[in-house]
A and B are shown apart, each in its own frame.
Chain A
């Protein structure tokens, strides 16, 4: 009894393990199940009762409910698919002005919104890409293809790699000192000597869009969550799930909503990068001692 009082947790764990293992031994593998492929997979006899649940056919495991629970959530993916489709193609049709055809066109709201976001992102990416690599897309965005055809000189010249490298070195020296400058120089020279300049700058261009945007969104949402309890309560579970979710799972919905291309990459990156930023902002703001906040308030009064 002495030991029991001294380590109550230990005995709780022991009791739990005993219950767990006895359950494991008590519940036998149902006869309808068998191992296949070197004990890699279970299969079940197809001769079993099925029933419909929300329009989907779901298997019903009548006798081995303890062994494996019935897949009652089988309708969820189908439902998500349908609602995404509805949102994209049918929800809230509205009239939008179309520049190219000079007429009003009826389009669902979400589709129009995502197309606008896409256009904005693509413009930013192209701008950075052409400052570094050169091209005509940005000029086209301000004028038109006909204008480019009439004026072939109107083309952004790309920066030579020597300039970008020198810029990085100077920036490094200015911000931190010799060590960082040397490191920046080595990185830039490595990239260009190994012939990776163009792809590197393409990658950099969409990251230079995604990183600041996710920083701003993360900081803003973090502050909002700090100020209002309600926002925080709504955000927190979503953030936790987003942080542990594998990035692949987000790819498919992003393709459905935003299509394929560099802009979709920016959006995916933002979806993944914003949650840690929000959490850390919140953590930092929480860590501030109350006196500092009070002092700040007094400061504003004067």
Chain B
């Protein structure tokens, strides 16, 4: 088992490790709600004082540590052990010796530092909070400047968006009768995956319909839908454009890493200052967060197109655009749809966090349950409702992707 199977399955397990680390750091802020000390707590404190610069720095710390740990664990797993090298003692223990040296030097430095800095802060031992360099003022001034300069324009745009697009859309969603929605979902399940899919999807929807929060669930769905549409457009475009060049691809994947672990609360506050307590603020946060998987999976999907097909296309003399439209997109499409799947999950997650801004969906009720002594049951049921919304789409997309892959012969 551990000698054969695990090493063979290493690639997927490594992705799993990556996911674990990313999730751990994305929980760093959320766990501050239940009393964990650390960066998340400081970040929330800074946000309470509306000190966005400070929160930004703390957020950046979280992303950087996350990426560092992720890279280290990947490198550790990928490392090849050289069994045959005939090494001297020094070569074998090179790293331990260096580390021992570093420990010695560090202790000496800290000791010297205790004579050097008399004010009570030994900078070579530990730089205390609020005594380091800070760029907080710069960022705060930046946010103020944006506020002063663009407020009027943004206000006009915001009013237009809310009255012309968002409110009619919400009214449409709320206007759907429960039975019609059920018929639509079950029918879609039947067309895509047959009777079994229809039953699964219908059951999930029925649970939400029978819970007392059907209206709220519809509002959640409306916000998630709007966010997903916009982020898919942005993500697919950016991903395709970046894929044309190797360096931009790597750069974009790095940006995705940073944004995925960057605590969303940090940009929630400036956005809220600019757009007020409206759905627009929530949707902008949703779009920022949900664009990440859309971009990432577009790039990964285009990458998964075999190079031989690529060359075959070039040989028969198609232009770059034709190759993209006729060969790469159809083949990468199933993979991209998995990206859409992730986009929906991310969007739902962010819509729920949007409750802090003040929405009227399921998230608001979860937030209320958080401060309620007897909120455990309500919180769990609402969580399951949100999960079921996601799972309906997840199931439909997954079934479709499986069939499509079989059809294309790349499963």
A-side contacts of B390, CB under 8 Å: 244
Whether B130 contacts A195 by the Cβ 8 Å rule is yes
Whether B9 contacts A72 by the Cβ 8 Å rule is no
Whether A170 contacts B98 by the Cβ 8 Å rule is yes
User: Shortest distance in angstroms between A10's beta carbon and chain B's nearest beta carbon?
Assistant: 10
User: Shortest distance in angstroms between B401's beta carbon and chain A's nearest beta carbon?
Assistant: 14
Q: Is the interface of B mostly helix, strand, loop or mixed?
A: helix
Most chain A beta-carbon neighbours within 10 Å: one of B10, B12, B34: B34
Interface with A: B231-239, B294-302, B332-340, B376-384, which one?
A: B376-384
A-side contacts of B28, CB under 8 Å: 203, 207
Q: Is the interface of A mostly helix, strand, loop or mixed?
A: helix
Cα separation A251 to B380 with both chains bound (whole Å): 9
Flag whether B348 is at the interface (Cβ < 8 A).
yes
B-side contacts of A168, CB under 8 Å: 68
Cα separation A12 to B34 with both chains bound (whole Å): 50
Q: Which residue of B lies closest to A244 (CB)?
A: B390
B-side contacts of A254, CB under 8 Å: 34
Interface with B: A92-100, A103-111, A144-152, A179-187, which one?
A: A179-187
Cα separation A21 to B337 with both chains bound (whole Å): 26
Cα separation A240 to B201 with both chains bound (whole Å): 13
Query: Which one of A76, A248, A280 contacts B352 once the chains associate, using CB atoms below 8 Å?
Result: A248
Flag whether B11 is at the interface (Cβ < 8 A).
yes
Q: What 0/1 pattern do residues 255 to 279 of A give for CB contact below 8 A with B? A: 1100011101100110011001101
Flag whether B20 is at the interface (Cβ < 8 A).
yes
A-side contacts of B165, CB under 8 Å: none
Q: Which residue of A lies closest to B371 (CB)?
A: A252
Q: Which residue of B lies closest to A168 (CB)?
A: B68
Query: Which one of A20, A73, A205 contacts B180 once the chains associate, using CB atoms below 8 Å?
Result: A20
Whether B68 contacts A265 by the Cβ 8 Å rule is no
Most chain A beta-carbon neighbours within 10 Å: one of B65, B167, B178, B377: B377
Q: Which residue of A lies closest to B352 (CB)?
A: A246
B-side contacts of A279, CB under 8 Å: 16
Cα separation A199 to B17 with both chains bound (whole Å): 24
Which A residues, 205 to 246, have Cβ-Cβ distances below 8 Å to chain B?
205-207, 210-211, 214-215, 218-219, 223, 240-246
Q: Which residue of B lies closest to A66 (CB)?
A: B179
Contacts A244-B387, A262-B35, A284-B12 given: A272-B27 contact, CB under 8 Å?
Answer: yes
Flag whether A154 is at the interface (Cβ < 8 A).
no
Interface with A: B72-80, B139-147, B153-161, B314-322, which one?
A: B72-80
Flag whether A7 is at the interface (Cβ < 8 A).
no
Whether B131 contacts A273 by the Cβ 8 Å rule is no
Q: What 0/1 pattern do residues 331 to 353 of B give for CB contact below 8 A with A? A: 00000000000000100110011
Whether A16 contacts B188 by the Cβ 8 Å rule is yes
A-side contacts of B179, CB under 8 Å: 23, 27, 66-67, 69
Cα separation A66 to B209 with both chains bound (whole Å): 11
Cα separation A84 to B381 with both chains bound (whole Å): 13
Tally of A interface residues using CB under 8 Å: 119
Cα separation A200 to B179 with both chains bound (whole Å): 51
Whether A160 contacts B125 by the Cβ 8 Å rule is yes
Which A residues, 175 to 194, have Cβ-Cβ distances below 8 Å to chain B?
175-176, 180, 183-184, 187, 190-194
Flag whether B306 is at the interface (Cβ < 8 A).
no
Whether B40 contacts A66 by the Cβ 8 Å rule is no
Most chain A beta-carbon neighbours within 10 Å: one of B61, B98, B103, B191: B61
Contacts A39-B170, A73-B207, A246-B386 given: A252-B183 contact, CB under 8 Å?
Answer: no
Most chain B beta-carbon neighbours within 10 Å: one of A158, A196, A210: A196
Contacts A12-B191, A214-B24, A247-B27 given: A159-B106 contact, CB under 8 Å?
Answer: yes
Whether B178 contacts A69 by the Cβ 8 Å rule is yes
Contacts A20-B183, A184-B68 given: A284-B11 contact, CB under 8 Å?
Answer: yes
Using C-beta atoms within 8 Å of the partner chain, give the interface range for chain B. Answer: 35 or more
Flag whether B276 is at the interface (Cβ < 8 A).
no
Whether B215 contacts A246 by the Cβ 8 Å rule is no
Whether B71 contacts A194 by the Cβ 8 Å rule is no
Query: Which one of A9, A76, A285 contacts B377 once the chains associate, using CB atoms below 8 Å?
Result: A76
Q: What 0/1 pattern do residues 1 to 28 of B give for CB contact below 8 A with A? A: 1011110111111011101110111011
Whether B177 contacts A207 by the Cβ 8 Å rule is no
Contacts A27-B177, A42-B174 given: A244-B130 contact, CB under 8 Å?
Answer: no
Whether B210 contacts A73 by the Cβ 8 Å rule is yes
Interface with B: A112-120, A135-143, A287-295, which one?
A: A287-295
Q: Which residue of A lies closest to B104 (CB)?
A: A163
Flag whether A1 is at the interface (Cβ < 8 A).
no
B-side contacts of A162, CB under 8 Å: 102, 105-106, 109-110, 124
Mind listing 22 A-B residue pairs with CB under 8 Å?
A35-B171, A69-B209, A71-B210, A73-B210, A76-B211, A84-B376, A166-B106, A167-B99, A195-B132, A196-B129, A197-B127, A202-B38, A211-B24, A214-B20, A218-B16, A247-B27, A249-B379, A250-B380, A255-B34, A265-B27, A279-B16, A285-B5
Residues of A within 8 A of B (CB): 9, 12-13, 16, 19-20, 23-24, 27, 29, 35, 38-42, 66-74, 76-82, 84, 133, 158-163, 166-168, 170-172, 174-176, 180, 183-184, 187, 190-207, 210-211, 214-215, 218-219, 223, 240-256, 260-262, 264-265, 268-269, 272-273, 276-277, 279-281, 283-285, 287-288, 292-293, 295-296, 299
The 7 closest A-B pairs by CB, nearest first: A249-B383, A195-B132, A284-B12, A284-B9, A265-B31, A77-B377, A203-B38
Having A71-B212, A253-B376, A280-B12, one finds 7 other A-B pairs with CB under 8 Å, namely: A35-B174, A39-B174, A68-B177, A187-B64, A199-B58, A207-B24, A249-B386
Residues of B within 8 A of A (CB): 1, 3-6, 8-13, 15-17, 19-21, 23-25, 27-28, 30-42, 57-58, 60-62, 64-65, 67-69, 71-72, 75-76, 79, 95, 98-99, 102-103, 105-107, 109-110, 124-135, 167, 170-171, 174-180, 183-184, 187-188, 191, 206-207, 209-212, 214-215, 219, 345, 348-349, 352-353, 360, 363, 366-367, 369-370, 372, 374-384, 386-388, 390-391, 394
